[in-house]
Structure 1
Amino acid sequence: MGLTENEAAEKLKTEGENVLAENRQAGPVKIFIGQFKDIMVMILLGATVISILLGEISDAVTIILIVLLNAILGFIQEYRTEHTLEALRSMTAPTAKCWRDDKLKEIEASKLVTGDIIELEAGDRIPADCAVLKAAGFFSDEAILTGESVAVSKSAGSPEDTDNSLNKPNIVYCGASATKGVCRAKVIATGKHTQMGKISEMLTDIDREPTPLQKRLGELGKAVAVICLIVCAAVFGAGVLRGENVFDMLMTGITIAIAAIPEGLPATVTIALALAVSRMLKQKALVNKLHSVETLGCTSVICSDKTGTITENKMTVTELSTVSADYYFSGIGYRVSGAVTKGDDNIAVNPTAEKSLTEALRCGVLCSTAEISTQEVPKSRNRGALAGRGEWQVTGDSTEAALLIAAAKAGITRESLSGSCRVLGEYPFDSETRFMAVLCSCGSDKRMYFKGAEEVLLPRCSQYISENGAPVPMSSAVRRELAEKAAEMSDRALRVLALATCSSDTLEPNRRNLVFLGFAGMTDPPREEAKTAIRKCAAASVKTVMITGDHKNTAVAVAKKAGLLKGGLAMTGAELDALSDEELDRVIGKYTVFSRVEPVHKLRIVRSFKRRGEIVTMTGDGVNDAPAVKEADVGVAMGVTGTDVTKQAADVILMDDNLATLVSAVEQGRCVYANIRKFVRYLLSCNIGEVLTMFLGILMGMPVVLLPVQILLVNLVTDGLPAVALGMEPPEKDIMNRPPRRSAEGFFSGGLMWKIVIRGVFIGLSTLASFTTVMRLGGSLEACRTAALITLVVSQLIHVFECRSERRSLFRMNPFGNMKLVIAVVISAAVLAAAVILPQLQMVFSTVDLSTPQLLTALGFSAAVPVISSIFSKK
């Protein structure tokens, strides 16, 4: 049986080892050096060198610390992403039980080759894709590949079948796990040729693109570089034309150009993102990659997995239909509370008086190997209702657990039946027979109970249980009505199980003449919070798309309940395969549901949306989701049910597997981007004001308006705490009622550059006006500079409050809406006051005490700026 060792050795040479593709990893040094390729970082490094040459050591040290902080943070994030495939490799089995030379041996899984015969049993990790040769009650959990949590029954097929496509009943897949039974299988694919290997290849081929924020900051860096060169050249040229010393003017030009660099910007962006990460963590969203926080804010399409994200991932019996009546069960998922009602009028029932209901639920309890338990004993409000806190603890098959929970709501449990019924034998569910049976001793009577597919059990039933609990012969009309009822339940995306019984002294699974008890209809219900989140996304013009491996009818039914299918269409993986990329790009906007999809389909869907210019967020939990999660602009993994592979490929991890948490994260992302625009507006306006003050002073032939040490003080007071506090601005109330920004939208869109330039010009002109006015009042040069310093700083500190909103003016906002900003401004004002008043600091910063008229002049020009700016810009 199986291969000989020599045959296996020859095949191993040609096929290679049964391992996944090696990741193209970059070394730590290369990753770290890569952090310094950003244009803004290069400008800052250049400024550092020049600062050292000019003797401004404190400036140089500050800039170096900022650059190093950003480089270390970027290195940590990128280094972590390089190890995604290592987690994927760890999911494959290290050893396998394999027949070699007619002997069953345990060998390294990496040495398996096609043609090997292996043995599998419950608890084994499947080491390669294999065709099933023989199986006895064998089930495989393929959730990591298909995303569906229900274990799949496997049965023997053709030994020559080498097609390892997903969702085949005669194929077991590498990385999946055996949950029940035993199996003998023939290896048909190893390494990169397995389904897991194909996913590994997809992950390897995906390269990370810069986030929208990184692109915008790159554009900003280039703009700053051009501005610095222009400023340097203009100052140099103007000075030389006036007859100034060439070297002195070159140094002056360089000094002013450095003043134009917003060196606090990278640090402020990093701090704003880090603070958002902290806030999101409190909301149960863990961020792996810092810049993804902002990318979330411009998400225009959310591609969500169905199971466990939109739905509860907890099968729930919602109705039980007997010949005499329909019964409905309230309570979602594994929650303890719930009740039983009867008919369309939802009449409360006493289950003990409903014989047909009681007998059907008894069958569901006895025909089950699952277990449910609670920490607190639930209370029965009446005979048909259960009240309790928390959830049932479930062990075993989710379908069987759903039947146990439904029965518990009617007061029927395994414990309550233990005195009257005892299970003597069991015939396990099999994919070929598609039913399960148990032999029970119920007092002096011995009975068999059956649970399985409607199309298998209903034809075996010759009787049905009546309302009073007595068997009644089944007519052809009743049989037809039952078949129609089962079809109607299936059309509503319910999973339908038939329940039946018969008298028997022995376990005879092939018994006919059964007594029909009822149909149990169950579903994986949508989360209530997911419905709310989907409505919130729609209000924010964010399209939510559901992607699932489920049948199309089931997916459509869930989408309708979740509020996803309003005006949208559904497409299957097979229909997706029939479309070219160009055709898919043209029509994909019409679809909100994709069913029966495989990993490659998910990747195509994400890429198609991206080609249309959408910013795509993809959620997932299984290995099958990992390529699409990594390809998306923002990949989101489930923290509870997600595999390590998906978590490492993701940018964000939802600690509660809740779509509502993701929507809250999108809101935080929008807030972060809005705040970044706010402090970019603030920093650039201030820097333009400083540069204009110095540049116009030189052009006008005035003395140097501000000394280098005073410019350093301005940057220290205005670029630090106020900018950081501005990054803590809470989200505006209507932020989720606006459409997401377009991916191609520039950083200065919406007239932001106009606001920055106008405000910067006013700050510069008011500072020069303060300088010249004090000079005309007879003030000394030191007094003029002190007045200019006060005007420049105070006008910037006023401007920081204007930057809190792009939609409302300073006079229409609550000044105490951001207390952190108020405190930051007070501290900055206190530092300025100390530099002007304290004699020791006056010597350092070349300031002097001002007279009352001089001080009022400086403050007056500061206060005039926001008034004039508001009128000019029509805010």
Structure 2
Amino acid sequence: MHYDQEKGSVFEALGSSEAGLSFEEAEKRLLEFGNNELEEEEQISVMKLFLVQFKSILILILIAAALVSAVLGELVDAVVIMFTVFLAGVLGFFQEYRAEKAIELLKSLTAPEALVIRDGHDQKIPSRTLVPGDLILLQAGDRIPADARLVEAFNLRVDEAALTGESLPVLKNTGALPLETPEVDRTNMVYTGTAVTYGRGKALVTATGMSTAFGSLAKLLGTIERSRTPLQESLDRFGRWIGAATLVVVSFVAVLGILSGFPLFDMFLWGVALAVAAIPEALPAVVAVGLGLGVRRMVKRNALVRKLPSVETLGATNVICSDKTGTLTQNKMTVERVYVNGQKLKVTGSGYEPSGEFFGGGGSAPVSGDEPHLRRLLLAGALCNDADLVKNEGSWEIKGDPTEAALVVAAAKVGLRKGELEKKYPRVEEIPFSSESKRMTTLNSTPNSVSNFTSDSVSRSTPYLTSNSVSNSVSTSTSIPNSNEATSISSDSSSGAGESGRLVAYSKGAPEVILDSCTKTFFEGVERPLTPELRQEILDIVGDMGDQALRVIAVAYRGLEEEIPLEEVESEMVFVGLMGMRDPPREEAKAAIRTCASAGIKTVMITGDHKVTASAVARELGIFSEGDLALTGTELDRIEDNEFEDMVEQVLVYARVYPTHKLRVVEAFKKKGYVVAMTGDGVNDAPALKAADMGIAMGITGTDVSKEAASMILTDDNFASIVSAVEEGRNIFKNIKNFITYGLTTHLGEVLIVLAAVLGWQILPLIAVQILWINLITDGLPPMALSVEPPDRGLMRQKPRNVEEGLITRREITAGVGIGVLIAVQALLVLIWALESGFSLEKLQTLIFTLLVLSEMFNAFNWRSDRYSVFALGLFTNKPLIYAIGITLILQLLVIYTPVLQTAFRTVPLSLAEWGVILPLASTTLISMELMKFLRSRRYK
């Protein structure tokens, strides 16, 4: 990448020059290296994507059952089963239609045109025709068209947040760097897809297309297989279990029947009936609809899920790997601490809203915005500044560097508006910030003064500077006014510019640099000598602020009356104070992390920021504590995979990392058996988002690439919304598990009564169409209503579920089998009563048919919660369930009393006396389950 070479060597290595490549050479290289474009991976066809929806074991069993029904002439059964299967497939297809677009979006982020020097002339060319060795020109607002080595950089700052996660624009330079410099710290390189926010420069293209950093991400994304969700695995296991159990039961009945002398064809028909009874043909559609309803609820809680099966994955998540900037923090630099006039002040307010107060005395004593020392510090910070604060549609936004913007906002909190200040104290010249000087200085006129000092008196040796920028190369003949005498300044004067003289120099920058230029300090209204003791005291305060992860800016001034050379302006200055700022953590994120901890979820910070800053923020958020480890990307590179897997559970902060590091962390946790969620917003997060069990992208600040690679998108970019999503995910799985267990009781009861009737009395108690009807209406509306059941109290105090347990645990199997056996016993009692009463076969089948429907309606109340009584929850708190049961009962009455449906379902009307027998009998389903819950609650008290 040539970052470790001097500029001259880079030109030689790339076969280029200050005049750029010739057109002929560029054409040759284009043939050799190819277009500067990202390759598209082979896209899955729409038809293939649709067919993939029918791969699960349960779906295949249902298709086989439909084919058998069609062969046997049961066309109604076959049509209904296939319609259910088709509905489930369509729902899944539409959810996943836009799932694999990450590479196309990576491609769209590249710049369409580039300003390049060829044959010594500047010209714009399509960025896809750039080749290694091209000399490109970069200016503020440009998107970098290819990876390149800088050969000129004038105050060049590049926003690399989308690639590296760095929260602030990176100041670039041209000096050679050590070979071991990590990619995120290569300040003499620029990368495809990042953007120039300030300054200008020239760079030699070192890589294009798939060889760029973006290209590496594209390759990485293409090689990552999205893992199946725990729900998909659980449904497949459940389907295999159902399939095996069905085969065993059908075979058992068929063999017994044949040995008992029944005709082979009759036994085959009974076997098909049992298969229909055992297979929950409505389950795929009900699960899909249940997940879909969960998706709708999650949208209201600021979480948008892109793949239905991913909805419940959050419920099993036990590790969340989160980006810092904008996710755990506000992504808004804010001044939080001030040191002025020997006092340490706290500043309230957050973000870019210009409201807040200053407090001293440990944060309890308010400080007036008219306090002269504070006012002078804030005024200097606002004038020596290129950022601005604007109000746009009711919200405050910044223009320019976030660090400078923080100073502008702090000044606005005491009524010092930058626009008004610049009119009152116009800037006449400046010495811009550079990586070498680590400071910026402006020269401003004081009110009622007239200065003939113009920017023309400053040497301009480079052609691309704007009117507000000057080169660090200045003429020694330039003179400006100066005053070296100590001055006592009243509070009245300090409410304005604060210094006597026709011009004032304001300077801000690194504390050690500013202090080295100061000979005095402004203290108690007087400019006093800056003693070594006071200098050390200030440096100690700088260190304290740094330990709190604050970015510290020092501010100084100098009143000018006599003419002096411009390069001497930044000397003999007066120290005013310090301002400590940072990107503050979201308050709601702190509460969210505490909730995650109580829910058994480990939170890990993965960021591109520096280790000290990341650790301090993590400590404040409650992620990091004594004994936990923090690693940088460079340190991680030195650790072998097996060693890292042993220590990954102790590392809670990763700093200065790159995409491969994030991916490695996610994969290490997955190998340890964790269900991993990864949050992120940048292109750099995309590989890890795709590899994680649950990739969570930011909806506001997130790139399109990260959104397409993720399984879920937070529409408010708030980590706290993840907690809501986790709770919703847990509740969704709880509801799915409950309505599957509810359905299990139905099918088990049907199988047992059919088995008992066939073996004991050689009677088929239900015909196939009745069995299918029971399955459709009891597995249809009630489970959908159960899927909107609100979370149980204490749900977020439970540990994450073990994904190895599957959908149905021993506890659910015990309860489900018990209720299923009870339903079968109810039906058996009705069978015996009907036979003893001499009822016709149609009457007997109608009674059992209706009993099973009624029993399942009572059973639906049981599975609102597997822990709490329906009466404790409130009988009518789930109104959709009341409606579902009401509609189901009305449909059942129509089947029994409508002539057309009587013919289709072979039913006969029931008398009030017969209803009086089956209704109380069916109610025992609810009564017995309530008794079980009561006894369990007493045992755990």
What TM-score results when the alignment is normalised by the length of structure 2? Answer: 0.88
- Alignment-derived partner of residue 480 in structure 1: 536
Q: Which runs of 5+ in 1 are unaligned?
A: 377-389
Residue 840 (structure 1) shift: 4.9
Q: Secondary structure at the match of 2:322?
A: strand
Do 1:362 and 1:407's aligned partners in 2 also have CA atoms closer than 8 Å?
A: yes
| 1:586 partnered with 2:642 | no
Residue 870 (structure 1) shift: 5.8
The residue correspondences of 1:629-648 to structure 2 (distance < 5 A) are: 629-648=689-708
The Cα RMSD (Å) is 2.2
Do 1:425 and 1:507's aligned partners in 2 also have CA atoms closer than 8 Å?
A: no
Deviations 1:195-239 (A, max 9, x none): 222211111110111100000000111112112222321222222
- Alignment-derived partner of residue 255 in structure 2: 237
Taking the aligned partners of 1:34 and 1:417, their CA distance within structure 2 comes to 65
| 1:754 partnered with 2:814 | yes
Q: Secondary structure at the match of 1:306?
A: coil
Residue 156 (structure 1) shift: 1.6
Deviations 1:813-839 (A, max 9, x none): 432231111111122122223333445
Which one is further off, 727-736 or 320-329?
A: 320-329
Taking the aligned partners of 1:318 and 1:866, their CA distance within structure 2 comes to 60
- Alignment-derived partner of residue 881 in structure 2: 821
Taking the aligned partners of 1:191 and 1:854, their CA distance within structure 2 comes to 78
The residue correspondences of 1:194-233 to structure 2 (distance < 5 A) are: 194-233=212-251
Taking the aligned partners of 2:443 and 2:36, their CA distance within structure 1 comes to 45
| 1:538 partnered with 2:597 | yes
The residue correspondences of 1:31-70 to structure 2 (distance < 5 A) are: 31-70=49-88
Which residue type is aligned with residue 558 of structure 1? V
Residue 486 (structure 1) shift: 1.3
Which one is further off, 527-536 or 54-63?
A: 54-63
Do 1:434 and 1:453's aligned partners in 2 also have CA atoms closer than 8 Å?
A: yes
Taking the aligned partners of 1:839 and 1:254, their CA distance within structure 2 comes to 27
Residue 343 (structure 1) shift: 3.1
- Alignment-derived partner of residue 397 in structure 2: 393
Residue 658 (structure 1) shift: 0.3
Give the % identical residues: 43
- Alignment-derived partner of residue 330 in structure 1: 348
Deviations 1:15-68 (A, max 9, x none): 333222432322222222222221111111112212222333333222222222
Taking the aligned partners of 1:189 and 1:614, their CA distance within structure 2 comes to 38
- 2:374 pairs with 357, 369, 381, which one? 357
Taking the aligned partners of 2:125 and 2:421, their CA distance within structure 1 comes to 47
- 2:853 pairs with 783, 790, 793, which one? 793
- Alignment-derived partner of residue 427 in structure 2: 423
Do 1:18 and 1:113's aligned partners in 2 also have CA atoms closer than 8 Å?
A: yes
Taking the aligned partners of 2:191 and 2:565, their CA distance within structure 1 comes to 34
- Alignment-derived partner of residue 514 in structure 2: 457
- 1:547 pairs with 599, 606, 615, which one? 606
| 1:854 partnered with 2:911 | no
| 1:466 partnered with 2:466 | no
| 1:508 partnered with 2:604 | no
The verdict on how the C-alpha distance between 1:433 and 1:53 changes in structure 2, with shifts beyond 3 A counting, is: same
Residue 615 (structure 1) shift: 0.7
Which residue type is aligned with residue 359 of structure 1? R
Q: Secondary structure at the match of 2:584?
A: coil
The verdict on how the C-alpha distance between 1:226 and 1:212 changes in structure 2, with shifts beyond 3 A counting, is: same
- Alignment-derived partner of residue 549 in structure 2: 493
Taking the aligned partners of 1:711 and 1:29, their CA distance within structure 2 comes to 33
- Alignment-derived partner of residue 103 in structure 1: 121
Deviations 1:432-473 (A, max 9, x none): 2221111100033211111111122210111111221x3212
Residue 396 (structure 1) shift: 1.8
Q: Secondary structure at the match of 1:744?
A: helix
Taking the aligned partners of 1:5 and 1:816, their CA distance within structure 2 comes to 79
Q: Secondary structure at the match of 1:215?
A: helix
- Alignment-derived partner of residue 252 in structure 1: 270
The verdict on how the C-alpha distance between 1:164 and 1:344 changes in structure 2, with shifts beyond 3 A counting, is: closer
- Alignment-derived partner of residue 130 in structure 1: 148
Q: Secondary structure at the match of 2:398?
A: strand
The verdict on how the C-alpha distance between 1:750 and 1:223 changes in structure 2, with shifts beyond 3 A counting, is: closer
Deviations 1:142-167 (A, max 9, x none): 11111223211112224998988222
Residue 558 (structure 1) shift: 0.8
Taking the aligned partners of 2:558 and 2:929, their CA distance within structure 1 comes to 88
The residue correspondences of 1:438-837 to structure 2 (distance < 5 A) are: 438-443=442-447, 444=449, 445-468=502-525, 470-504=526-560, 508=566, 510-511=568-569, 512-567=571-626, 568-809=628-869, 812-837=872-897
Taking the aligned partners of 2:34 and 2:179, their CA distance within structure 1 comes to 22
Taking the aligned partners of 1:359 and 1:839, their CA distance within structure 2 comes to 93
Which one is further off, 701-710 or 660-669?
A: 701-710
Deviations 1:690-729 (A, max 9, x none): 1211121110124221223332332233222112111111
Q: Secondary structure at the match of 1:119?
A: strand
Residue 869 (structure 1) shift: 5.6
Q: Secondary structure at the match of 1:220?
A: helix
Taking the aligned partners of 2:426 and 2:810, their CA distance within structure 1 comes to 74
Residue 485 (structure 1) shift: 1.6
Do 2:165 and 2:609's aligned partners in 1 also have CA atoms closer than 8 Å?
A: no
Which one is further off, 601-610 or 848-857?
A: 848-857
Taking the aligned partners of 1:129 and 1:507, their CA distance within structure 2 comes to 41
The verdict on how the C-alpha distance between 1:269 and 1:510 changes in structure 2, with shifts beyond 3 A counting, is: farther
Q: Secondary structure at the match of 1:440?
A: strand
Do 1:426 and 1:507's aligned partners in 2 also have CA atoms closer than 8 Å?
A: no
Deviations 1:580-604 (A, max 9, x none): 1111111111122111111111111
What TM-score results when the alignment is normalised by the length of structure 1? Answer: 0.94
Taking the aligned partners of 2:179 and 2:777, their CA distance within structure 1 comes to 74
Residue 668 (structure 1) shift: 0.7
Which one is further off, 63-72 or 584-593?
A: 63-72
The verdict on how the C-alpha distance between 1:150 and 1:846 changes in structure 2, with shifts beyond 3 A counting, is: same
The residue correspondences of 1:237-386 to structure 2 (distance < 5 A) are: 237-352=255-370, 354-374=371-391
Residue 575 (structure 1) shift: 1.9
- Alignment-derived partner of residue 143 in structure 1: 161
Q: What is the number of residues matched between the two proteins? A: 860
Which residue type is aligned with residue 629 of structure 1? L
Which residue type is aligned with residue 356 of structure 1? H
Taking the aligned partners of 1:160 and 1:697, their CA distance within structure 2 comes to 84
Do 1:20 and 1:89's aligned partners in 2 also have CA atoms closer than 8 Å?
A: yes
The verdict on how the C-alpha distance between 1:506 and 1:206 changes in structure 2, with shifts beyond 3 A counting, is: farther
Which one is further off, 202-211 or 144-153?
A: 144-153
Q: Secondary structure at the match of 2:648?
A: helix
- Alignment-derived partner of residue 380 in structure 1: none
The verdict on how the C-alpha distance between 1:21 and 1:456 changes in structure 2, with shifts beyond 3 A counting, is: farther
| 1:403 partnered with 2:407 | yes
Which residue type is aligned with residue 259 of structure 1? A
Taking the aligned partners of 1:671 and 1:638, their CA distance within structure 2 comes to 23
Taking the aligned partners of 2:750 and 2:763, their CA distance within structure 1 comes to 15
Residue 851 (structure 1) shift: 4.5
